[in-house]
Amino acid sequence: MPVTINGVELTDADMEQELPLHGDAPNPMRAATTALVLRRVLLDEAARQGLDPASEDDAIGALLARHAPAPEADEAACRRYYQANP
């Protein structure tokens, strides 16, 4: 059954490339499909926002950096965490 996301159909080649990355998942086909769908949605959103980095991975990285920045912990916070979780 073909999967189409925002007018873009996932090809058999896409699935063949992604599937080995999810071999340990309980349902590798579902995990690979989910990963490809999420990637397409993120790429489409990056394009919609005018992000045009050199690669698809860079486009997704720029989108995530813009909307979901990773928090930075200072040294004191790290020490508290490690002391609380020996």
Q: Residue 65 above 90 pLDDT?
A: yes
Predicted pLDDT at 86: 87
CA distance 12 to 82: 46
Q: Which residue has the tokens 């950096």?
A: 65
- Number of neighbours of residue 58 by Cβ within 10 angstroms: 13
Secondary structure E strands in the chain? 4-5, 8-9
The answer to whether the predicted template modeling score (pTM) of the entire model surpasses 0.85 is no
* Mean pLDDT taken over the chain: 94
pLDDT in tens, 19-57: 999 999 999 999 999 999 999 999 999 999 999 888 999
Q: Residue 72 belongs to what domain range?
A: 4-84
Number of domains in the chain: 1
* DSSP per-residue letters across 45-62: HHHHTT---SSHHHHHHH
Q: Give the per-residue pLDDT at 38.
A: 97
